[in-house]
Amino acid sequence: MIRITEISEIVGIFGSVDKLKRDIRSEWDVDQLIREGIPYPAFKHFQEKFAPMGFELDTFMGLESALKENNHEGFRLPSIASDRLYRLARLFIIATKVLEDEKSGAEWLKKPQWGLGGRIPAEVAFTEIGAKEVENLLGRIEHSVLA
């Protein structure tokens, strides 16, 4: 369950309420945001935080053609891509807390991890079940339970 502090962190990771084009105060607001689609400026803000060097988030999310074809001004990500982006943003926040800074959290999510059988956490998080696996690994790291 998302706590209020986590909701404010989600807003922060996407830039601001202005970039999100809606006020986010509850889980229902997050649900509505995902259904409407995350606005392009919020996607771009997260991309700059998470992937400043080399990780093509738009390609990973399957958005490269959609982003090339649309005027970015009013473009919103499709709801499926918004859901995936939200999952990745949530894991980025958790990884940042566990590893104690944004750079370490982002790098951890982009590199193969032994605890995931050598898979890359950001790629594993493409599905909800994969995201839970990544979150469980982060929990084990936080509590020093690596087996």
Instruction: Tell me the pLDDT tens digit for each residue of 105-125.
Output: 999 999 999 999 999 999 999
Does a structural domain hold residue 58?
Answer: yes
Does a structural domain hold residue 120?
Answer: yes
Question: Contact at 8 Å (CB) between 109 and 147?
Answer: no
| Number of domains the chain contains | 1
The pLDDT value recorded for residue 52 is 60
The pLDDT value recorded for residue 38 is 93
Does a structural domain hold residue 75?
Answer: yes
The pLDDT value recorded for residue 51 is 74
Does a structural domain hold residue 81?
Answer: yes
Q: Which portions of the chain are predicted below pLDDT 70?
A: 1-5, 52-55, 64-72, 146-147
Q: Residue 59 belongs to what domain range? A: 4-142
Does a structural domain hold residue 147?
Answer: no
The pLDDT value recorded for residue 44 is 86
Question: Contact at 8 Å (CB) between 5 and 29?
Answer: no
Give the global pTM: 0.86
